[in-house]
Structure 1
Amino acid sequence: MSDIQPIPLVPEHTAILRKCQDAFCHAVKAKFNCMAILHNMEEADSFGSNSGVLRAEKRYSTKLSNRVEISIWKDDLTRHQVDAVVNAANEKLNHGGGLAQALSDAGGPMIQKWSDDIIQQVQRVKTGDAVLTLAGNLPCKYIIHAVGPCLYPNPNKKDIDRAAPFLHNVILRILEIAVYENISSVAIPALSSGLFHFPRDRCADIIIKAITQFHDLNGFQGKNLEIHLVNNDEPSVHEMERATRAVFDPSSTSGSYSGAVQGRNQSMTSSSSNSLQFGDVTLHLKKGFIQEEKVDVIVNTIAKDCDLSRGEVSKAILNKAGRKIQDEINRQRHSGKGYPGADLYETKGYDLKCRAVFHTVCAFRSDPNAEKILFKGVSECLRKAALNHTSISFPAIGTGNLGLDKYQVARIMMDAVAGFVKQSLKLNIYFVVFPKDEEMMKAFEKEMKRRKEGTMSPVLPNDMTRSFASAAKETTANETPTVDFYGISKEAQREAKAWTFNMLKQSDNMTIRNNHIIYLDQRDHENLLSLQAKFRVHIKEFFRNGNGGITITGSPSDVSCAAIEMESMLCKAQQVFAEDEERDILYSVVRWSCEDKPWIQTPEISAVLEKAYLAGNEEITFSNHKVRFKSMVLIDDNGVFSAMKRICLLDPFEPLNNSFYAKTMRSEEYVDKEGRRALEAFGLRIVKVEKLENIALKQLFNKNGQRMKVPLPLKRLYQCVSAQFCDLICRVGFQKEFAPPAEQRYGRGIYFSSTVDGALKLWKEQDHEQYIYIIQAQVLTGKSTIGSQDFILPPATKGDPLDRFDSVSDMIQTHVIFSGQQALPECLIICDKSSAEQQYAKHIKNY
């Protein structure tokens, strides 16, 4: 849990994090293995006391049978009155963030104690499973700790489909526990959504499907059970009600959810059968031809190549407007004057009956983010139109290249309008349907009807309707936006907090130093151009003296936004690099094979199987094939069984804590006396020592030692690294990208020092980092010679290019190797800077 105080956010910083919330949370997770929780911010998920006091509100209920009832609630789960509440837990039952922490804090320290006792017995609770503990001080008897799937931010369809069965299974498990323990009422939140990034709508559909399946299979065994689906945020409550009504009361089309998501700060009433009034925004539905619309703005959809002759809508607009519209969009595309961050271009109307045309770029139907692309495109058009115009017309976007269902399109476009309403801007909006497309018209009419009915119940008195928006704004104003950090250690939390201060500092320029810029691909560089246009900043890459990075210049708030997005992008490149290294390391020491399926024996598939095997999984599914590890068989999509083999190429090995690498706590005595004295001489105090183990890397290291015939004892050397690379070194060993010195005087390799004080001098400390991280390693220096800054490999020993030195050095204390397999990390020494506390206090005071 966190003992680090949250960061209070001033309005400028709140605005920054609203713009790049996903990138911020992803970067914090990737760099520091921490979870960032944003409180009292639009679209941020929070739980417990930080979200204010909620009054329990029952939105909808229905019965599966005389004994089983499902109801939808908006309430704080820490106060909800039931026999058992469900906690969104992780596999280690470490309740350090979000709902888990809120329940643990409210229930008292025994909640974590009981959870730790379970982990001591079972090591971990697998994803898709759940366990029961008492509830401590909570107003219920039990907590069911359920482990749902956890996804990366912005997951694609493949990731979601792979995770869905685990979410389905965990709901079944919750219900099994409730029935077995004779629990009469259970409260279930939207598991895996929010912090775990599972889409809310799919989450709700899966939960309802699992409950109905459990009922159909007589899982309730005739017992009484009230199932409360409880959430404290309006989007989750809405999705739960929608999914429940879709199954048990489809004719009602979600009639009672109060229109809160559609515009919780606005009244919404119907003005006619084909129009809706959202406060100052009017939405009209009509049949017609988009190219004939007499409005300020017409919306067009185009492909990435901006060819207006592709697509029926775009072709009609081109024919009506004339060739000049194509010429203008071509000029914008080649000059970079469009809006690539939003995939939006604006041109004149020319021979059309409008002032401007917004061309929004749509991807092809295979894109897993098709729904997000549509929502983003409509939202950006609305926002931009409201700045200078009073009316805008849309065709039915998304049924062509995006390949979306027409009812999906109607829902998403309506959702975009509802989200736009929250910005309190005035606009007349027209959805224009091609006259012969009756199905599209029906889809829009059905969605419009649902929205209208959604505002009819409950009916608010006029004075409440009028004051609802201002009351909501006052409540928000009294709750200071904050950022909380939760991680496995206070050191990681403090580093995440210091990094956040650095990202939010008011500066018109910022430099991000990270050698992983060399792994950015073409799409990443396209994103760089998009970031430049989106935030109106200048981004420049650099790489000199073995050190690479990015400089960003512009207005302070835009620089911070672009820097956070850039850090997230670099973290993704870093993760891809690490996964590739893991794959190659594992493939060097172990191979999986199947005689009937020779294509199995590839580095990619072999690594996937090995990691799943070491993680203790019973089985894994990939490419329509299933591997069962206990029986060592592969089952193809036709149900045919084949024998699998796991061959250790060097020495047989078993997992370390369900992996091939592990970090474990060690005492200061694990560091030699000379090293401790050197740290004390620099005014540094050892905070923590962690032993680093990597089975695969150790086997390769030993093999290299045998080849090089290096005598014992081996050299013990040191390297200083940044916080974000500590875990990576444990995973994939030493890489030259992780810790380049300020100057590579002796070659372009991996640097070490034979002394701690030498390491501290060789690597300049990170100004914003709160600790110094020193890796102690065994290193195979072998035959060595003096280095040169021109070396990319060690030089030949006697002119023979195949006979080379094993390393180079300065002949004093600096050593350089050119292969990560010549070094084995032994331990991580985390030191507190003597001035760290004063620097930290100064940051807090100045904030």
Structure 2
Amino acid sequence: MEDDRMLTLTANGTEVVKQCRAALCQALEGKFQCTPWIHNIEDGAALSFFHSKAAIVPEIRYNKQLSKNLNVSVWKDDLTKHKVDAVVNAANEDLSHGAGLAGALSRVGGPMIQKWSKDLVRKYGKVSTGSVISTKAGNLPCKMIIHAVGPCLSLNPTVEELSKASELLQETVQNILKRANSENLQSVAIPAISSGIFNFPLTKCAEIIVNTVKSAGESRSARARSLEVRLVNNDDPTVQEMLKACLHILGTSDTLPGQNLGNAPTQSSFPSLDLGNITLYLKTGGIENEATEVIVNTIGTDLDLSKGLVTKAILEKGGQQIQQELNRKCRHGLDGDVFVTSGCKLKCPGFHKSLEFPFIELFAPSLEAQKEAKSWLIRTLCSCPEKLEIHNNNIMHLSLEDHKKLMSIQSEFHVEITEIFKSGHGVIIIKGGAAGVGCAALEVEAILCQAQENFAQNEEKLMQNDLNDLGQQIETTPNRLYQKTMLSELNAQNWKKTFSNYDLSVVKVEEIKNVVLKQLFRLNGKRIQAQPQRLYQRVSAQFVDLICRVGFQREYAPPKEQKYGAGIYFTNDLEKGKYFWPEYEERYIYFIEAQVLTGKHTLGSQEMIVPPPTASDPLVRYNSVTNNRGVYVIFNGQHAYPEFIITCQKKDETYI
């Protein structure tokens, strides 16, 4: 049966994912740190690995020895299957591999490629245009992927824009070759970087790439290792442009080697097709007679093995025990279900019965994040609403360019988009046809997630600058500013007992360590000379990790009503905490336990945007405001330090 890692898509959901794959990937990463692996769905740029319409036979069109240790060749082939030391990915600065070549490499290579890429962006920031960065290759038949960020042009670039972009493309190719040398590679496959969706003119793109490779050959040290540069593309127009550029710039080709050099499938008495790490063999005969590890059989939802010629043959050969074993597992199946039984009398240990279907496989840092991601996908893709509301205060951080994108989304998907911000709560309402609403929702979520990430990165820089201004030098953790550590069952007992009194069942408790936030909090404590209180804030799943990164922000967790000022709200009463904040459409309830510098406080009121003055001097103000019934409001996020994340759910709630 389907588990929380897999989501079978409806026809509407399939169409939405087909059109908006990149936005889906970015939204899942931004909201849940989750990477999707999309199966059996084609997009406009690249076919799914599992459903390629026609395999490309590797074909070399040109070959030239430029120097003693540098060779260049032109190939028509699929980069996801091409066998070299490294393939080059035409990446964007965020390393979001949603569509095009990047999406294809990520899908075939596996979800870890996207995860490794995002980890690099978190560690080093965005990859600037002209630069490269490398990751492992996952399931691809190469040692590594070199992610190269080429220039992106407007649809009708000016002469000046094209000139600047040409310099950047040349720099990109130079950096690819430098990386190949520094990694001691013997072969690298380079596509037509920046052509296609990046709008760089194809002819000029080919000329720049070839000229840059030629210059590298002329200046290459005689002591350098031999390097084979393969210009690999999967469509004839691009291959032809690369061939034309080589003939014009490098001259006629040397004698061509065998057409499938280095890419030939293993020889066999049966017709075969090399699919990278997989070889497909085509045989005739009865599948029930095959000696293999697994036999796959497609069946109806009634799970009756006596129907259909192939299924019936498997049943007769394997025996009725297969049907009995299947019936013990389930009486009725759904589209997409996969069942495993033993092989019984068949020549295999076991065989699968499955139905071919489009589905999304989710890879998340925790089971809870995985479940939240799936629930969100169901609401967005499977319920087919004609009206959808996105509650997200990141609309405060949208730029003018972002709002122009929203206008374009309206036109492209024939929907109506309305933005509302009231009483500390932002909402975007999308109305239209079901497919249009789904597509628009993913695109809007992706824009919001990018705005969220830009804000968080800026806050991290400001935090570090604040410490530098105060002369504080600290060491951060290797990959990020914070760490989360889950407490053992024994160490979490106190929280379980406390939350149980409020009909909440604790799933896990995680301790947060953020050395920058901690130091800023300590310095603020010394400045206002106050002892912290231990208080709670309820937050949405999307903002848990953001609070760990950059601390509390007023837009991350506004209460239902801002009765005591436009600040950051906390409470010492868990019962109040359950209902003081909105009921989020989520599988779990998330509380952050924090140390809060409430200091000198006074009664708050709705119109306050900062604490009121303590006396006649407007520069001397209270540290916080309160309702005198357990609710406190601060107006500076550095006056609170998040210590623990408590993930829980209501005792009477169970999820299937």
Say if 2:521 and 2:640, in contact at 8 Å, map to a contact too: yes
- Determine the C-alpha separation between the residues in 1 that align with 2:538 and 2:643: 14
Please list the CA deviations of residues 235-277 of structure 1 after superposition, one character each: whole Å capped at 9, or x if unmatched: 5x75455335313457999xxxxxxxxxxxxxxxxxxxxxxxx
Note the 1:159-174 alignment, pairs <5 A. 165=171, 168-174=174-180
Q: Does 1:654 align with 2:531?
A: no
Structure-2 residue corresponding to 1:828: 645
Q: What secondary structure does 1:793 align onto?
A: coil
Say if 2:28 and 2:34, in contact at 8 Å, map to a contact too: yes
Structure-2 residue corresponding to 1:365: none
User: How many matched pairs?
Assistant: 524
Please list the CA deviations of residues 93-137 of structure 1 after superposition, one character each: whole Å capped at 9, or x if unmatched: 9x99863674479xxx9x99xx9xxx9xx999x97466899x9x9
Q: 1:175 to 1:694 in 2, by over 3 A?
A: same
Say if 2:152 and 2:194, in contact at 8 Å, map to a contact too: no
- Determine the C-alpha separation between the residues in 1 that align with 2:602 and 2:151: 46
Deviation at 1:506, TM superposition (A): 1.6
Structure-1 residue corresponding to 2:560: 742
Deviation at 1:193, TM superposition (A): 8.0
- Determine the C-alpha separation between the residues in 2 that align with 1:734 and 1:194: 42
| 1:498 pairs with one of 346, 353, 375 | 375
Q: 1:797 to 1:723 in 2, by over 3 A?
A: same
Please list the CA deviations of residues 28-86 of structure 1 after superposition, one character each: whole Å capped at 9, or x if unmatched: 333333444555323244664464773533152322259735241324745x556x454
User: Which of the pair is proportionally richer in helix?
Assistant: 1
- Determine the C-alpha separation between the residues in 2 that align with 1:227 and 1:497: 42
Say if 1:89 and 1:145, in contact at 8 Å, map to a contact too: no
- Determine the C-alpha separation between the residues in 1 that align with 2:26 and 2:166: 17
Pick 1 or 2: higher relative contact order, CA cutoff 8 A, min separation 6.
2
Structure-1 residue corresponding to 2:9: 9
Query: Residue type of the partner of 1:495?
Result: E
Q: What secondary structure does 1:24 align onto?
A: helix
Query: Residue type of the partner of 1:551?
Result: I
Deviation at 1:167, TM superposition (A): 5.8
Which sits farther off after the overlay, 478-487 or 700-709? 478-487
Deviation at 1:780, TM superposition (A): 0.4
Q: Does 1:543 align with 2:546?
A: no
Deviation at 1:651, TM superposition (A): 1.6
- Determine the C-alpha separation between the residues in 1 that align with 2:487 and 2:148: 35
Say if 1:692 and 1:827, in contact at 8 Å, map to a contact too: no
Deviation at 1:698, TM superposition (A): 3.3
Deviation at 1:670, TM superposition (A): 10
| 2:436 pairs with one of 545, 558, 576 | 558
| 1:708 pairs with one of 524, 528, 539 | 528
Please list the CA deviations of residues 359-406 of structure 1 after superposition, one character each: whole Å capped at 9, or x if unmatched: xxxxxxxxxxxxxxxxxxxxxxxxxxxxxxxxxxxxxxxxxxxxxxxx
- Determine the C-alpha separation between the residues in 1 that align with 2:237 and 2:653: 46
Please list the CA deviations of residues 622-677 of structure 1 after superposition, one character each: whole Å capped at 9, or x if unmatched: xxxxxxxxxxxxxxxxxxxxxxxxxx523222333255x22243424797644232
Deviation at 1:547, TM superposition (A): 1.7
Percent identical among aligned pairs is: 33
Deviation at 1:738, TM superposition (A): 0.6
- Determine the C-alpha separation between the residues in 2 that align with 1:549 and 1:64: 60
| 2:572 pairs with one of 748, 754, 779 | 754
Note the 1:388-537 alignment, pairs <5 A. 480-504=357-381, 505-537=383-415
Say if 2:528 and 2:599, in contact at 8 Å, map to a contact too: yes
Note the 1:228-627 alignment, pairs <5 A. 228-230=230-232, 234=234, 239=238, 242-249=241-248, 480-504=357-381, 505-590=383-468
Output the TM-score relative to the length of structure 1: 0.52
Deviation at 1:816, TM superposition (A): 1.2
Q: Does 1:60 align with 2:61?
A: yes
Q: Does 1:30 align with 2:30?
A: yes
Structure-2 residue corresponding to 1:74: 77
Query: Residue type of the partner of 1:16?
Result: V
Query: Residue type of the partner of 1:789?
Result: Q
- Determine the C-alpha separation between the residues in 1 that align with 2:443 and 2:178: 39
Please list the CA deviations of residues 767-820 of structure 1 after superposition, one character each: whole Å capped at 9, or x if unmatched: 1x3343332222101112333334333333345543332112233432211111
Q: What secondary structure does 2:535 align onto?
A: strand
Q: Where does structure 2 lack aligned partners over 5 or more consecutive residues?
A: 156-160, 253-354
Q: Where does structure 1 lack aligned partners over 5 or more consecutive residues?
A: 254-477, 591-647, 842-847
Note the 1:692-841 alignment, pairs <5 A. 692-695=513-516, 697-711=517-531, 714-767=532-585, 769-798=586-615, 800-831=617-648, 838=655, 841=656
Q: What secondary structure does 2:378 align onto?
A: helix
Structure-1 residue corresponding to 2:303: none
Q: What secondary structure does 2:507 align onto?
A: strand
- Determine the C-alpha separation between the residues in 2 that align with 1:74 and 1:747: 62
- Determine the C-alpha separation between the residues in 2 that align with 1:556 and 1:66: 59
Say if 2:592 and 2:644, in contact at 8 Å, map to a contact too: yes
- Determine the C-alpha separation between the residues in 1 that align with 2:36 and 2:384: 21
- Determine the C-alpha separation between the residues in 1 that align with 2:411 and 2:227: 55
Structure-2 residue corresponding to 1:212: 214
Output the TM-score relative to the length of structure 2: 0.65
RMSD over aligned Cα atoms: 5.0
Q: What secondary structure does 2:28 align onto?
A: helix
Say if 1:150 and 1:196, in contact at 8 Å, map to a contact too: no
Query: Residue type of the partner of 1:171?
Result: L
- Determine the C-alpha separation between the residues in 2 that align with 1:220 and 1:747: 71
Deviation at 1:549, TM superposition (A): 1.1
Please list the CA deviations of residues 184-230 of structure 1 after superposition, one character each: whole Å capped at 9, or x if unmatched: xx463649889998989698777655543443234575977655455
Say if 1:54 and 1:76, in contact at 8 Å, map to a contact too: no
Q: What secondary structure does 1:684 align onto?
A: strand
Deviation at 1:484, TM superposition (A): 4.5
Deviation at 1:546, TM superposition (A): 2.3
Q: Does 1:691 align with 2:516?
A: no
Q: 1:526 to 1:833 in 2, by over 3 A?
A: same
Deviation at 1:822, TM superposition (A): 0.8
- Determine the C-alpha separation between the residues in 2 that align with 1:15 and 1:221: 54
- Determine the C-alpha separation between the residues in 1 that align with 2:195 and 2:545: 25
- Determine the C-alpha separation between the residues in 2 that align with 1:217 and 1:534: 49
Say if 2:38 and 2:107, in contact at 8 Å, map to a contact too: no
Q: 1:55 to 1:579 in 2, by over 3 A?
A: closer
- Determine the C-alpha separation between the residues in 1 that align with 2:541 and 2:378: 16
Q: What secondary structure does 1:64 align onto?
A: strand
Which sits farther off after the overlay, 203-212 or 770-779? 203-212
Query: Residue type of the partner of 1:571?
Result: C
Q: What secondary structure does 2:143 align onto?
A: strand
Structure-1 residue corresponding to 2:318: none
Q: What secondary structure does 1:148 align onto?
A: strand
Query: Residue type of the partner of 1:541?
Result: E
Say if 1:507 and 1:559, in contact at 8 Å, map to a contact too: yes
Say if 1:9 and 1:482, in contact at 8 Å, map to a contact too: yes
Note the 1:73-152 alignment, pairs <5 A. 73-75=76-78, 77-78=80-81, 80=82, 84=85, 86=87, 99=105, 102-103=108-109, 128=132, 143-149=142-148
Q: What secondary structure does 2:560 align onto?
A: coil
